Homo-oligomer: A and B are copies of this chain.
Amino acid sequence: MTIETQEEPPEIKVYLPRVGITNLKSVAKIEWKGRIYTFIPTFEVAIDLPEEKKGIHMSRLVESITETMSEAVEEEVKKVHTSLEDLALCIIRRIEKKHSHKRAEVWIKSTLILERQTPASGKTSYEPYDVEVGVIKNSDGSIKKVLKVKVIGNTACPHAMANNQGKTHIQRAIAELEIETHFNEDIALEDMIEVVESSFSSPTYTLLKTPDENAVVRRMYENPKFVEDVAREIVYKARNRFKGKIHVKVISHESIHKHDVIAEVWA
């Protein structure tokens, strides 16, 4: 007979709000714009633990992920998940049947590939974006979500440009936009990516033929920006377009320094 050590009282009685599994890679499948899309996200799933219990049953969290995934696999056509947050909520609903808790969180990290047109030759380019979605069920049963996108762009320094007859230093920059909002608030990760990508000196592209490269170069010089400018533009657009608590963080990998520069804002 199995001893359930987890159910015993612990020596030290402290409520733990977050106990679970992390860095779990598994296969997931969602229906996204009419296509079945398979990918391998990284999961973190956590629930709370009352002060009178020694531990949670970790395997039940894993089962909730695995079963949600195979449900998607088996009934592919009619029941497939339509978004990462839908997937996360399905996992929480399975946990509810398996493990008592007051609060629960599911976080899913993945990479989206979006189709873009290059700026001059109009060729198709596939662009990768790191995204993360968290769904959090509070102890009152209310559900909120956190949506994050991370986009690679660039900055052309306006200060160096003003002091060097139009010449300046340019570099890769990375911006993150995070929105915490109600679960039912309809916000597409693609729209968040668009807000961020359009706020750099120029977007970047995986494929650039010479005319495209020229267009990107011209765009950067016509649109010089500090990290501060990028951060302000993202937060301004995001506030106009999305409802929720906003966090913006821009890091520029300065080409003239060995360190990075950063601008951060909350709204």
Contact = CB atoms under 8 A, between A and B. Distances in A.
A180 interface: no
Contacts of A159: 3-6, 55, 210, 213
B26 A126 contact: yes
A82 interface: no
Interface string A1-45: 011111000111111111111111111000000000111100010
A126 B27 contact: yes
A167 to B, nearest CB: 5
A3 B265 CA distance: 26
Given A5-B159, A39-B39, A255-B171, A55 B264 contact: no
A184 interface: no
Which DSSP category, helix, strand, loop or mixed, fits chain A's interface?
Answer: mixed
Interface in A77-121: 111, 113
A17 B248 CA distance: 11
A207 interface: yes
B253 A172 contact: yes
13 contacts: A4-B159, A5-B159, A18-B263, A24-B258, A38-B38, A40-B113, A40-B128, A54-B229, A66-B126, A167-B218, A170-B255, A171-B172, A206-B257
A189 interface: no
Interface string A142-169: 0000000000101000111011101111
A265 B13 CA distance: 12
Given A19-B227, A162-B5, A169 B25 contact: no
B207 A59 contact: yes
Contacts of A216: 169, 256
Given A10-B228, A46-B264, 13 more contacts: A4-B159, A14-B265, A17-B265, A17-B266, A18-B262, A21-B259, A23-B259, A24-B206, A40-B128, A154-B169, A160-B217, A164-B217, A220-B255
